[in-house]
């Protein structure tokens, strides 16, 4: 059984910063990929960023240069540092773990950016 617990969402003004965390527990393979997706009201869930167990990262164009994805393999935790936030970043952010043949999702955490 794998569980993902997210934290760090909240409300912030335009230009502000937030840091999301996602801790995975259970049977985690040493080689895996963790990442972040988001879903705004009335829109489909979209990819934000991901990081492999070797530290390689990939970002959506909309967040490149503003968001930084990192991980602590010893803690099975992935982070998303979000800087220079914009109103269009407002969404529920979900953590995803690709672990062997299975994908697992966190419960989601709300991020609201107000002008």
Taking only the tens place, the pLDDT of each residue in 48-97 is 999 999 999 999 999 999 999 999 999 999 999 999 999 999 999 999 99
For the cut 90, the answer to whether the pLDDT of residue 109 exceeds it is yes
For the cut 90, the answer to whether the pLDDT of residue 108 exceeds it is yes
For the cut 90, the answer to whether the pLDDT of residue 27 exceeds it is no
Tell me which DSSP letter residue 111 carries: E
Chain mean position to CA 94: 6
């Amino acid at each position: 059984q794998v569980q993902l617990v997210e934290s760090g969402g909240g409300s912030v003004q335009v230009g502000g910063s937030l840091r999301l965390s996602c801790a995975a527990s259970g049977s985690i393979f040493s080689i895996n990929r963790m990442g972040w997706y988001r879903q705004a009201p009335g829109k489909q869930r979209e990819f934000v960023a991901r990081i492999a167990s070797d530290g390689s990262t990939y970002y959506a164009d909309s967040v490149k240069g503003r968001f930084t994805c990192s991980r602590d393999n010893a803690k099975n935790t992935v982070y998303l540092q979000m800087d220079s936030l914009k109103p269009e970043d407002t969404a529920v952010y979900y953590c995803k773990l690709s672990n062997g043949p299975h994908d697992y999702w966190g419960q989601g955490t709300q991020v609201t950016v107000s002008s």
